[in-house]
Amino acid sequence: MQIALVYFSATGNTAHMAQVIRQACMERGAVVDLYDITAAADRRKPLDTTAFQAFIFGAPIHSCRAPRVMRAWLDTLDGRGKPCAMFFTYGGFGVHPAHSSTREILVRQTFRVVS
């Protein structure tokens, strides 16, 4: 399975978790391409969703949500009905509504959220 693992990581914590998740997926036979969209220039590069069978999106939680720039970038994608999962990193309280608000964006962009 060809997976795109896309993450935003302001401090490096989410990047570290993306590497852990990538390794676990690869140990199960998946091919995983990492996309770091932390830098504005990287968010301007198009992501060809036709090239992948599944997606994993990761971000820290800022003010109970994925960062605004991540949410805006997700709105540019065409999920084509492909499965996706998401993960969040955080160190404090207030994780809700990060999962549900990000899920709403992904569903609107025609991803099939599975986890």
Predicted confidence at residue 16, as pLDDT, reads: 98
Predicted confidence at residue 93, as pLDDT, reads: 64
Q: Which tens digit of pLDDT belongs to each residue from 73-103?
A: 999 999 999 999 999 998 766 667 888 999 9
pLDDT of 11 above 80: yes
In this structure, which amino acid lies at residue 61?
Answer: I
Q: Which of 96, 100, 6 is nearest to 47 (CA)?
A: 6
Predicted confidence at residue 90, as pLDDT, reads: 86
Span 56-83, average pLDDT: 95
Q: How many residues does the structure list for the chain?
A: 115
Q: Which tens digit of pLDDT belongs to each residue from 21-46?
A: 999 999 999 999 999 999 999 999 99
Predicted confidence at residue 3, as pLDDT, reads: 98
**Enclosing H/E stretch for 22:** helix 13-27
